[in-house]
């Protein structure tokens, strides 16, 4: 199926505006999955039959491969992602206020380098409407059967020194709907957002969310929601260590590495060059090694004791294996679905399952950080 997608669908899609294709694809997925009869063939074709179970953040994941933030910003196709077999779904980024994002066009694709450049700028319905959407979804379909993660960003109109209120307001409005929350301080498309990665600002944002977390957990007589921080791949070793220490001391439950990069690979053609000249964050294959290096560093810094979510350039099971053995407990993709299609999940899960056997392992948890253990780090 992946081959059919690569040979026929991808070349046709490549001729069209990337954002329009994206919105149309989401709509088709939503419509096809709104009915149990049309859901069946999708489930049959795409849902992995193999299980690679892993327990994390108080939930059981049937396998470690999930949907990265930005793909379903408004939580429009939750049933669809479940149907095609994602292990977990991250929706958003959501900000306190509704916003349109940057002017279009703002998403560009280079098929030859399997990369995307985007400068969406957190186009999203805002956390109030998002809470309503999720409430309606839960009433109609029940809670998703896979863990639902919510990615939080900062509204462009909120002053940088008030960022903590923006994140905390969204967190409060969405608290009861999400299983895990990701504080995104790393998108390159909201002016100065990445400055929030400095320890003082980051601590203030996390602390503000943790106050709400304790209050709501007590009110609902339930446990605290796990909070993760998502980082940029443009950090020095010292900055990375500071962020890890800050996030851990503020009781964050883990880290997502990484967001898109502002750097550009060498281009091999004029068409690549035209895409790479666009402003914004680059994702996909050229990001893979950089994000894996960050995973390795974080794993070493934390002695493998703090969950890392690996994202960046996963296009197949080899890429997924690299991230897990570098230290990621769970992995995610966005660009991989654009270039490989909906069959990516099944091929990653089947491939990982084979690699476990080849390495004489019985459980995916045993593969986490394996490359460090083998190197005697």
Ligand X SMILES: Cc1cc2nc3c(=O)[nH]c(=O)nc-3n(C[C@H](O)[C@H](O)[C@H](O)COP(=O)(O)O)c2cc1C
Q: Name the minimum Å distance from CB 19 to ligand X.
A: 8
Q: Residue 192: which residues within 8 A CB-CB, separation 6 or more? A: 160
Task: Name the residue nearer to ligand X (CB basis): 36 or 191.
Answer: 191
Stretch that binds ligand X, among 76-84, 209-217, 265-273, 332-340 (CB under 6 A): 332-340
What is the Cα–Cα distance from 280 to 109, expressed in whole angstroms? 12
Whose Cβ is closer to ligand X: residue 39's or residue 209's? 209
Tell me which of 52, 69, 79, 130 binds ligand X, using CB under 6 A: 69
Q: Say which residues have a Cβ less than 8 Å from residue 33's Cβ, sequence separation at least 6.
A: 39, 42, 77, 79, 80, 83
Catalytic residue among 18, 186, 187, 283: 187
Closer to ligand X at the Cβ: 62 or 184?
184
For residue 321 the two structure tokens come to: 């294996």
Q: What is the CA radius of gyration of the chain?
A: 19
**HSE of 221, CA atoms in CB hemisphere, 13 A:** 0
- State which of positions 123-142 bind ligand X (CB under 6 A): none
101 touching ligand X, by CB under 6 A: no
Name residues contacting ligand X, limited to 265-284 (CB under 6 A): 283-284
Compute the half-sphere exposure of residue 207: CA atoms within 13 Å on the CB side of its CA: 8
Minimal distance in Å, beta carbon 189 to ligand X? Answer: 8
Is 75:91 a contact under the CB 8 Å cutoff? yes
Q: Does 292 bind ligand X (CB under 6 A)?
A: no
| Whole-number Å distance between alpha carbons of 232 and 260 | 7
Write each residue from 248 to 267 as x if it is in contact with ligand X (CB under 6 A), else as -, in one continuous string: -----------xx-------
Preceding omega of 93 cis (within 30 degrees of 0): yes
Stretch (H or E) spanning 336: helix 335-340
Q: Does 311 bind ligand X (CB under 6 A)?
A: yes
163 carries an active-site annotation: no
Q: Is 227 in the site for ligand X (CB under 6 A)?
A: no
Which helix (H) or strand (E) covers residue 108, if one does?
Answer: strand 107-110
> Structure tokens of 370?
């394996």
168 makes contact with ligand X (CB under 6 A): no
294 part of the interface to ligand X, by CB under 6 A: no
User: Which residue in the set 57, 149, 299, 334 belongs to the binding site for ligand X (CB under 6 A)?
Assistant: 334
The footprint of ligand X (CB under 6 A) covers 68-70, 92-93, 107, 116, 118, 120, 122, 151, 153, 184, 187, 230, 259-260, 283-284, 287, 311-314, 333-336
Catalytic annotation, residues:
187
């Amino acid at each position: 199926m992946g081959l059919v997608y690569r040979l026929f669908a991808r070349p046709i899609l490549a001729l069209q505006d990337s954002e329009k294709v994206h919105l149309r694809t989401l709509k088709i997925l939503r419509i096809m999955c709104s009915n149990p009869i049309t859901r069946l063939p999708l489930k049959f074709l795409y849902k992995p039959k193999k299980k690679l179970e892993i327990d994390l953040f108080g939930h059981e994941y049937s396998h470690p491969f999930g949907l990265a933030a930005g793909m379903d910003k408004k939580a429009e196709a939750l049933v669809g992602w479940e149907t095609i077999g994602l292990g977990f779904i991250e929706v958003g980024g959501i900000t306190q206020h509704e916003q349109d994002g940057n002017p279009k066009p703002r998403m560009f694709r280079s098929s030859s380098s399997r990369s995307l450049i985007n400068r969406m700028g957190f186009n999203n319905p805002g956390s109030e409407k998002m809470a309503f959407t999720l409430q309606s979804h839960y009433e109609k379909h029940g809670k998703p059967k896979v863990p639902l993660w919510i990615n939080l960003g900062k509204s462009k109109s909120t002053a940088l020194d008030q960022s903590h209120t923006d994140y905390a307001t969204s967190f409060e409005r969405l608290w009861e709907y999400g299983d895990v929350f990701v504080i995104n301080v790393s998108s390159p498309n909201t002016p100065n957002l990445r400055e929030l990665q400095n320890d003082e600002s980051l601590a203030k944002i996390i602390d503000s969310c943790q106050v709400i977390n304790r209050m709501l957990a007590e009110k609902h007589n339930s446990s605290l929601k796990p909070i993760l921080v998502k980082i940029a791949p443009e950090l020095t070793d010292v900055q990375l260590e500071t962020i890890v220490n800050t996030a851990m001391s503020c009781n964050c439950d883990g880290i997502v590495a990484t967001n898109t990069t502002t750097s550009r690979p060498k281009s091999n053609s004029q068409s690549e060059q035209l895409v790479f000249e666009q402003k914004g964050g680059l994702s996909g294959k050229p990001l893979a090694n950089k994000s894996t290096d960050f995973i390795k560093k974080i794993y070493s810094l934390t002695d493998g004791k703090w969950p890392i979510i690996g994202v960046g350039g996963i296009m197949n099971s080899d890429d997924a294996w690299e991230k897990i053995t570098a230290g990621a407990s769970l992995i995610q993709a966005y660009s991989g679905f654009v270039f490989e299609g909906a069959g990516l999940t099944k091929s990653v899960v089947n491939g990982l399952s084979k690699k476990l056997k080849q390495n004489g392992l019985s459980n995916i948890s045993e593969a986490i950080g394996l490359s460090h253990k083998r190197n005697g780090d």
